[in-house]
Every structure is written in structure tokens, then in C-alpha cells.
Amino acid sequence: MSRPELQAPPEIYYGDIEAKKYTNNSRIQQIQADMTYRALELLNLPPDEPAFLLDIGCGSGLSGEILDDEGYTWVGVDVAPSMLEVALEREVEGDLFLQDIGQGFGFRPGSFDGAISISVIQWLLNAETSHPTSSPPHRLARFFTTLHSALRNPSRAILQFYPTSDDQIQLITSIAQKAGFGGGVVVDYPNSKKARKVFLCLFVGSGGAQQVPK
């Protein structure tokens, strides 16, 4: 079967049934949890300090539950109402917003101590959305520019995603850089077709004291 992002826009693809299937699939749960912990590691927040985080494409709250467990206060945005419904049922603690990240954010400058995103931004690479007209580069630029502004200086955004080609990584990275981000790409298990995971590690300012962990 082809990738979900090639079949329909996320708010259509993740209808009530897909949203529940996705959330209740224990293999997906485990992968999402692993990637969330890895994203938090790469986020490199100062230890034992409370932080206010943005979960981009929070979906049904699989990553949000981990943010709750880790003691973070967070805001989650997602474009699929059915996913947010499931998140409500699961009683996650974060504030949830129905939002298309390709339209950008309205958060005031310096609102967040960091941002994570698990398996989401590949959706921005597809022109077909139910809110049409904007091309992927335009939507990506709007997303990264408003995200950069919403983050504190210094801080990081760690965005795990599924690119289909190196060209896609190149496109996304160059637009993020134009929006003001530093940083780069971390690839876990680069030689495994199944386990390979791409994390875009974006820095605002210095991104914090340390360099990208290996």
C-alpha cells in the first residue's frame, strides 16, 4: 500500500476509524514512543527544569502522554479532528488546537522552550490538501518562519519525518535555514531500511549549550 500522505490529506485520511486504528496499534505505539523519547533526547533541554513545549501534529496524543509523564507542560496542534477527539478521550493534559501547520502559527515570539514533531512534516510535501492553492515550498516556508518565531532563543525543534528522497530532505532543510534555523539532520540506523529514522534537528540561536548528540 502506498504511503498515507500520498493517499489523502491528513484530516481526511485520519477519519474516525483510521484515528482509532492508528492509536490502538501496539506496534505504532511502540515506534511512536521510541521516537518521542529520542526527540526529547535530541531536544537537549536543561535537566530538572520545567519546560513549555509544542507538539506539532500531536495526533491522538501518543507523544503527548510521554510529555505528560516526563512532567512537561505542552500545547499540541493537529489538522485531523478525529485524532484530536481520540486525544481528548485519552485525557492528555496539553492544550489542543485544530490547526494546519502549513498555514503557520500565531504564537507570540519566544513562547516555547522547544518543539517536537513525530511523523508529521512529510505531509507538508504534498500539494493536495483540502485547503488548497498553496504549494509545498510556500507552506513549508510559512510553517518554519512562524515556528522559528514561536521558539525561545536559544532552543531547538526536533522533527522526525519520513522523507521519500534526499531531495526532500534538501528542500526541507534549505527552507528551514531560510527561516533562520541552524542545525541539521540526524539519521538513526541509516543502513536499515526498516529502522532508519530521520530527525531534523533545528536550532534557534545556538540551540542550547551543546552540539547535536551523536
Q: Please state the φ and ψ torsions of residue 53, each to the nearest 5 degrees.
A: -120, 155
The one segment of 20-28, 90-98, 182-190, 200-208 that binds another protein by CB under 8 A: 90-98
Task: Please identify, among the stretches 45-53, 153-161, 169-177, 189-197, the one whose residues bind another protein according to the rule CB under 8 A.
Answer: 45-53
**126 in contact with another protein (CB under 8 A):** no
Q: Distances from the Cα of 212 to the Cαs of 41, 103, 156, 187, in angstroms? A: 10, 29, 10, 12
How far is the C-alpha of 168 from the C-alpha of 198, rounded, in Å?
A: 12
- Which cell is 200 given? 531534523
77 three-class SS: strand
Query: Closest distance between another protein and the C-beta of residue 180, in Å?
Result: 17
Residues 58-87 that bind another protein (CB under 8 A): 73, 75, 77, 79, 81, 84-85
CB distance 147 to 115 below 8 Å: yes
Please identify which residue in 105, 123, 144, 203 interacts with another protein, judged by CB under 8 A. 105
Q: Is 47 exposed, middle or buried (0-12, 13-18, 19+ CB in 10 A)?
A: exposed
Does position 191 bind another protein by CB under 8 A? Answer: no
**Is residue 103 involved in binding another protein (CB under 8 A)?**
yes
Residue 134 makes contact with another protein by CB under 8 A: yes
Footprint of another protein on this chain (CB under 8 A)? 49-50, 52, 73, 75, 77, 79, 81, 84-85, 88, 93-100, 103-108, 110-111, 131-134, 142, 146
